[in-house]
Amino acid sequence: MTAVISLRGTLLVAALLLLAPMLGAQGPASRSDSARTALLARADLGRIQGAESAPVWLVVISDFQCPFCKRWHDETAPQIIRNYVRTGKVRMAYLNLPISTHRNAWPAHEAAMCAAEQDKFWPVADAIFATQAAWKSHRDPVAFFDSLTRTLPLDHALLRACVNDGRQRPLIQADYDRASRAGIGSTPSFFVGSQVLIGAQPYEAFARAIDAALVAAARAR
């Protein structure tokens, strides 16, 4: 589990290590480097939901163009959020794993992670999954997501600037690399406490895994 989640409860540590050569490795960080790092940190936190005191992590390793990821997002995630995340038992994080055969996945992940800078990752993720059939074969997915995000309450100019300068790409790549190092090669996959679940399994499978992780966390206190 520690290969995916840092001990401080965010996903950023490995991403910042990856970015170090670009962010002031030759000397003190410039003001623009510091601002960029701050935006990456905000995006990193923006794809996490749930109380910091939650005893169990659920890490969702997903691809926005994956139909099974959409099924899990639509059918299972709402029940987990209602019964475990909003009740303070689970903290849920999204890890990007855009599969190479899904040619429009990367633009989808970039749009969502740029929205995460504004703490809007989850609404944009909902919208991206909801429109998957429309954009998965679109010739210009960037334009599609640009139009899609205009319908949501966020700073569209800031989001477009983020997409245009590609600043979230290293963070997405860091997610991909960490998932691969952890032995994850398909989506959706999940870390539930110390357990790994593969595939769009039903809510009941996640409830069993989460309940077991809650018991283990209580015993470890």
Q: What is the pLDDT of residue 26?
A: 39
- Return the number of other C-beta atoms located less than 10 Å from residue 23's C-beta: 17
Phi, psi of 121 (to 5 degrees): -60, -50
Q: Given a cut of 70, is residue 25 above it in pLDDT?
A: no
Choice between 32 and 42, residue whose per-residue pLDDT is larger: 42
Choice between 175 and 12, residue whose per-residue pLDDT is larger: 175
Q: 208 lies in a domain?
A: yes
The pLDDT confidence band at residue 217, using thresholds 50, 70 and 90, is: very high
CA dist 130 and 117 (Å) reads: 21
Q: 143 lies in a domain?
A: yes
Domain that holds residue 176: 12-220
Per-residue pLDDT tens over the stretch 138-180 = 999 999 999 999 999 999 999 999 999 999 999 999 999 999 9
Which CATH number characterizes residue 158's domain? 3.40.30.10
Report the range of poorest mean pLDDT among 27-31, 101-105, 169-173, 200-204: 27-31
Give me the mean pLDDT over the 113-124 stretch.
97
The count of C-alpha atoms lying within 13 angstroms of the C-alpha of 133, restricted to the half-sphere facing its C-beta, is 2
Q: Given a cut of 90, is residue 20 above it in pLDDT?
A: no
Q: 2 lies in a domain?
A: no
Q: 153 lies in a domain?
A: yes
Contact indicator for 6, 17 with CB cutoff of 8 Å: no
Structure-token pair, residue 162? 């983020």
Q: 1 lies in a domain?
A: no
CA dist 177 and 184 (Å) reads: 10
Phi, psi of 56 (to 5 degrees): -130, 135
The pLDDT confidence band at residue 21, using thresholds 50, 70 and 90, is: very low
Q: 175 lies in a domain?
A: yes
Per-residue pLDDT tens over the stretch 61-107 = 999 999 999 999 999 999 999 999 999 999 999 999 999 999 999 99
Spatial strand order of the sheet with 90-96 comes to 48-49, 90-96, 56-62, 189-192, 195-198
Q: Given a cut of 80, is residue 19 above it in pLDDT?
A: no
What's the angle, vertex CA 36, arms to CA 180 and CA 109, rounded to 5? 40
Secondary structure (DSSP) of 173-193: HHHHHHHHHTT--SSSEEEET
* Number of domains within the chain: 1
Q: Given a cut of 90, is residue 184 above it in pLDDT?
A: yes
R_g over Cα of the chain: 17
pTM: 0.85
Q: 61 lies in a domain?
A: yes
Contact indicator for 179, 61 with CB cutoff of 8 Å: yes
Q: 136 lies in a domain?
A: yes
Report the range of poorest mean pLDDT among 21-30, 87-96, 106-115, 209-218: 21-30
The partner residues of 29 in beta bridges, in order of sequence, read none
Average pLDDT taken over every residue of the chain? 87
Per-residue pLDDT tens over the stretch 33-69 = 788 788 888 999 999 999 999 999 999 999 999 999 9
